[in-house]
Structure 1
Amino acid sequence: MTTATKRDLRHAARARRRELARTMDDAARDAAAAAITEAVLRFVPEPCRVAVYESLPDEPPTGRLVETLVAAGHEVVVPVVLDDFSLEWRYAVPGTSGDRATVRRPSRGGHGGHGGHGPDAADGQGWLGTDTLATCDLIVTPGLSVDAHGTRLGQGGGCYDRALLHRDPATPVVTLLHEGEQSTTDLPADAHDVPVDGYVTTTGRVVRLR
């Protein structure tokens, strides 16, 4: 039997997500948002810095999670993908929806390092630097699937695998999935892939792997 490649798996996962996004109504999205928020809050009992992301329409919704974390006194940072596929970080703005304008940004003369000298650092946008995950107490990542070993299937740019190299090894990393997206077989893994510590599904299920 031929082993599926990452490209094959991504193609199938994206097709499932497109169909799910097409059929999911507002009530189901609200329920998923509430379940994710309640589950992730179990990881953050005290005020801390949390890295999340602004979800796209077919991803598990993170808007309510961001709003709840900020309201609870946590510091929340979200990524912006630069044109070299590194991740620059900024403070989350509750109520912002993820779209191409908010999650992608050209590098404009180099990207952030320590001290937040990233793109448009002087324009008041609050760029924090590409090494921001070193300062986070919890990291919530997107992903198309996760297997029992913590191997995460991402979108293919390697953004998070590079960004996660900055994190403190003791900082937990969890991925958000739609219920049913977890893999029952081993996903293909490359040497640069960084495993995650668990995942949270849109039904509120928390699975700790590492």
Structure 2
Amino acid sequence: MTSVNKAAMRARLRQARRVVPDDVHAAEALLLNAHLAQVIDGGATVCGYVPVGTEPGSITMLDVLLQHGARVLLPVARTTDGDGPLPLMWGEYRPGELVRGRWGLLEPPAPWLPESAVGQASLVLLPALAVDLEGVRLGKGLGFYDRSLTNRNPQARLLAIVRDEEVVDRLPSEPHDVRMTHAITPQRGIISFPHRE
């Protein structure tokens, strides 16, 4: 699939999210929190993110992780001088201490951990516009996560957070795409994907 087709797919998925009523979004966020609580290992390190806009979930999922004894790391987006994406740096989540970063994203304040910190996580939560039954994730198209996941623990669970209708049969994939091991949706809960090398 060409980048033009991927762009059109992203636009359709974003539009579909924009028409989800606020009360449905809030109810789905609570369901996602309940499912997340089932996969947390106390004392584990989890790389998460703060959902923005129409992304499934809410910041309360980070609090659920903390309540279950997880250490939560959040991404810090950086770019090259030419505005190309660099691997994400990470910072510890502390409620009430997030600051607005680039693109208006909520991020932990400095000091940050190096990009290799993702390797400490046994669970990595990833934003996605869609994911297919082989674990191929369609992100926003900037490549931050694909660059960052090269540093992951090979045994880490990679969990895409999507709405139920965003789990699709097949998505286009590129050689650099890192496949998800799982997805989480409000109604279906945790979905496991076949392991692929």
TM-score tier, shorter chain, comes to 0.7 to 0.9
Give the Cα separation in 2 of the matches to 1:151 and 1:204: 18
Aligned-pair distance for 1:68?
A: 1.3
The residue aligned with 1:169 is 154
1:135 alignment partner in structure 2: 120
**Secondary structure at 1:131's aligned position in 2?**
helix
Q: Deviations over 1:112-134 (max 9, x none)?
A: xxxxxxxxxxxx72301111111
For 2:3 and 2:36, the matched residues in 1 are separated by 27
Pick the structure with more strand per residue.
Answer: 2
Displacement of 1:151 in angstroms is 0.9
Gap change, CA 1:103 and 1:178, over 3 Å in 2: same
Q: Tell me which of 11, 15, 31 is aligned to 1:14.
A: 11
**What's the offset of the Cα at 1:62?**
3.2
Matches within 5 A, 1:47-196: 47-84=43-80, 85=85, 86-94=87-95, 100-102=103-105, 125-184=110-169, 186-196=170-180
TM superposition score normalised by structure 2: 0.84
RMSD: 2.4
Say whether the 8 Å CA contact 1:172–1:197 is kept in structure 2.
yes
Question: Alpha carbons of 1:94 and 1:24: their partners in 2 closer, same or farther (altered >3 Å)?
Answer: farther
Larger Rg: 1
SS of residue in 2 equivalent to 1:180 = helix
SS in 2 for 1:173: strand
| Distance of aligned partners of 1:152 and 1:180 in 2 relative to their CA distance in 1, 3 Å threshold | same
Contact 2:41 2:68 in 1 (8 A): no
Q: What is the CA–CA distance in structure 2 between the aligned matches of 1:183 and 1:9, rounded to whole Å? A: 14
Q: Residues 29 and 62 (structure 1 numbering): CA distance in 2 closer, same or farther, change over 3 Å? A: same
Letter in 2 for 1:192: H
Q: Aligned equivalents of 1:17 and 1:136: distance in 2?
A: 29
Deviations 1:73-115 (A, max 9, x none): 21101112111312111112336598723358xxxxxxxxxxx
Return the match for 1:208 from 162, 173, 192. 192
Percent identity among equivalent residues? 24
Structure 2 unaligned residues grouped into runs of 5+ = none
